[in-house]
Amino acid sequence: MAKSIVQEFTKGLWQEIPPFRLVLGLCPTLGVTTSVENGLGMGLATTFVLAGSNILISLLRNIIPAKVRIACFIIIIATFVIIVEHLMQAYTYQLFQTLGVFIPLIVVNCIVLGRAEAFASKNGILPSTADGLGIGVGYTLSLGALGAVREILGNGTLTIWGDLGFNLASVFPSFQPFTFMVQAPGAFIGLGLMLCAINAIGD
């Protein structure tokens, strides 16, 4: 049975949430989630690319030859990555520097190419837009949540954006941060704990 536009959007918020249900996009998930700000920034950039590429691929799906579809998809995705890269350089330069190589690597993010091949190339513009936005928002929330866990435990802080946030030491003066949580091992531990929690909650 065909899903409604709302269902296409909401599936990405839980049933097909990329890092925890589909287990996709783990490189940036592990690499950039040392803070909430980094996680949200990476997620929003990926959402822009997902929605934009889904829309364009859906519009061109009957024109793109099947034999070269993957190459065409990558060119379309790369175009949107370049756009988001320039926008971030212009308006959020510090975040752009922090995320570094992970921004251009959105081109090869398996979430984006996977949605292009599995969904946008087979569906109309409205479902494809809803799919791209839903998966993107779900991915953004996932990165933000993992970033929050790692930042709170690893630094004792929670930085939402710029100076907006709080310091855990001001509430619990005796709190000692687990600094390994903002290092590479902490990324795997944090992701593992969140995967356990998601699986425990179930569908």
| pLDDT computed for residue 60 by the predictor | 96
> Which residue, 92, 119, 83, 103, is CA-closest to 37?
92
Model confidence pLDDT, tens digit, residues 14-28: 889 999 888 888 999
Tokens in use for 94?
């510090």
Q: Residue 55: pLDDT above 90?
A: yes
Mean pLDDT: which of 48-57, 91-100, 153-162, 188-197 is highest?
48-57
Q: Residue 121: pLDDT above 70?
A: yes
| pLDDT computed for residue 103 by the predictor | 95
State pTM to two decimals.
0.91
- Residue 108 Cα distances to 49, 50, 84, 143, 186, angstroms: 12, 12, 15, 18, 25
Tokens in use for 4?
């409604």
Contacts of 55 (CB under 8 A, 6+ apart): 120, 125, 128, 129, 132
